[in-house]
Amino acid sequence: MTTLEAAVVLRQPIESPMQAAVDAVLDQALREQRLVGAVVLVQHRGRFVYRNAAGWADREARRPMRADTLFRLASVTKPIVTAAAMVLVSQGRLDLDAPVTRWLPAFRPALADASVPTMTLRHLLSHSAGLGYRFLDSETDGPHARAGVSDGMDASNLSLAENVRRIATVPLHYSPGEGWCYSLAVDVVGAVLEAACGQPLDAIVRDLVCAPLGMSDTAFHAVDPARLAVPYVSDTPAPHALREGEVAAAFPDTAGIIYNPARALDRSAFPSGGAGMVGVADDVMTLLEVLRRGGDPLFDATWAGEMGRIQTGDYGPPDEPGWGFGLGFSVLRDPSLTATPEAPGTWRWGGAYGHSWFVDGALELSVVAFTNTLYEGMSGPFVTELRDAVYAGLAKEIAA
């Protein structure tokens, strides 16, 4: 080996325990064709300890995944819109505990007995309002379908106002505050924000969250369609490209989500506060880190703390024991019930196009994993494998 060759070898980065652990999980998921492509970011104490783009953004065109690949965010939209709502709360322009009818006088969904209970913004943001989702109905012709409600990911010519009007015609599952059900509540929040500000939701989110944080690639449509990842559906022997109008059930015995990927290119589609945004992993990491550090420059730590506080008592996602819900995402109540290395108070959620993320405030740890493969990237084994790899890698780095 020459001196020059030796110098080149010495300059090669030494693989860290985190890199080794996460690379192994990501490589295996790609090799086994459980994922087509992914962008994975890990920050610890405010600095990146892992970032990688791997696999294909477009398998058929052989376009590789890149760090700046755009993804349809699905429910990763929710914490972004929730942050916009909390900016307005911090400014005194919204009140978490005021009736929603203060801003939407006609929004009066009823219980099965026809009584109309009081519903607040806090109920909406914590999914304790009693609302539901069309894709979670047990039948394809369930109450939301009969009302013509859009879940925000299908091709729809409805306006936001009309969709919210239709949501209000569906009977509530329970009285607000007396249960938990994942729902179209954040779409209703979008209508509340429009009423409070007198602007379209896309402009509100841009002005209150995306612009102040420099999230320039995140919007209610693809800012650069050429960078948009092709979505795929888990299948055997390999995922298939998601078709326009394809229905895919995220959970057993449910109607399933109606997907129209072209919605991400349609600037006329109504802005779905629960599922409608497009963005990059780095932008979402930016928001999560701002919230973890206390919310500045969006709002002070009081409001970031309120987002991360369990709002739903003992209620929470039924398929996730030990988790409650804050404002915009789930919050870990008891790690022993779910066999996780995450600390109590950890925030977590994901997105139906194949995404997951979590923030462990006790360890100052934030993880964003965007994939283009549903549902492996949202709720498949990859999510748990990645979580465990991150904690294993971090433990080794701390011990070193």
- Indicate whether 1 pLDDT > 70: no
The mean pLDDT of the chain is 95
Structure tokens at 259: 């997907």
Query: How far is it, in rounded angstroms, from Cα 328 to Cα 274?
Result: 10
- Indicate whether 2 pLDDT > 90: no
Q: Are residues 164 and 190 in the same domain?
A: yes
Q: Are residues 255 and 389 in the same domain?
A: yes
Averaged over 104-132, what is the pLDDT? 98
Backbone angles phi, psi at 33, to 5 degrees: 60, 35
Q: Tokens 């070898």 — which residue?
A: 9
Whether residue 62 contacts residue 48, with contact meaning beta carbons closer than 8 Å, is answered with no
Structure tokens at 137: 């109905």
Q: Are residues 230 and 306 in the same domain?
A: yes
- Indicate whether 395 pLDDT > 70: yes
Q: Are residues 112 and 224 in the same domain?
A: no
Q: Are residues 307 and 335 in the same domain?
A: yes
Rounded alpha-carbon distances, angstroms, from residue 13 to 16, 66, 267: 9, 20, 44
3-class DSSP state for residue 325?
strand
pLDDT recorded at residue 235: 96
Q: Is 175 a catalytic residue?
A: no
Which one has a higher pLDDT value, 224 or 11?
224
Instruction: Give the Cβ contact number of residue 216 at 10 Å.
Output: 13
**Model pLDDT for residues 310-364, shown as the tens digit of each residue:** 999 999 998 889 999 999 999 999 999 999 999 999 999 999 999 999 999 999 9
What confidence category does residue 92 fall into, taking pLDDT thresholds of 50, 70 and 90?
very high
Q: Are residues 193 and 47 in the same domain?
A: no
pLDDT recorded at residue 14: 58
Percentages helix, strand, coil for the chain (3-state, rounded to 5) are 35, 15, 45
Whether residue 209 contacts residue 80, with contact meaning beta carbons closer than 8 Å, is answered with yes
Averaged over 154-179, what is the pLDDT? 97
Query: How far is it, in rounded angstroms, from Cα 335 to Cα 326?
Result: 16
- Given 195, 210, 225, which residue is the final one in a domain? 210
Structure tokens at 120: 């607040």
Share of the chain above pLDDT 90, in %: 94
- Given 210, 225, 245, which residue is the final one in a domain? 210
Domain that holds residue 143: 80-210
**Model pLDDT for residues 310-324, shown as the tens digit of each residue:** 999 999 998 889 999
Q: Tokens 């979008």 — which residue?
A: 190
Structure tokens at 272: 């779905």
Residue 105: give its domain's CATH number: 3.40.710.10
Q: Which of 88, 291, 282, 288 is nearest to 199 (CA)?
A: 88
Query: What strands, in cross-sheet order, belong to the sheet with 347-351?
Result: 63-64, 47-58, 37-44, 365-371, 355-360, 347-351, 330-332, 323-325
- Given 210, 243, 264, which residue is the final one in a domain? 210
Which of 75, 150, 330, 379 is labelled catalytic?
Answer: 75
**Model pLDDT for residues 36-90, shown as the tens digit of each residue:** 999 999 999 999 999 999 999 999 999 999 999 999 999 999 999 999 999 999 9
219: exposed, middle or buried (C-beta count within 10 Å: 0-12, 13-18, 19+)? buried
Averaged over 96-125, what is the pLDDT? 98
Q: Are residues 228 and 353 in the same domain?
A: yes
Instruction: Name residue 52's beta-bridge partners.
Output: 40
| Residue 337 resides in a domain | yes
Domain count, the chain: 2
Whether residue 364 contacts residue 44, with contact meaning beta carbons closer than 8 Å, is answered with yes
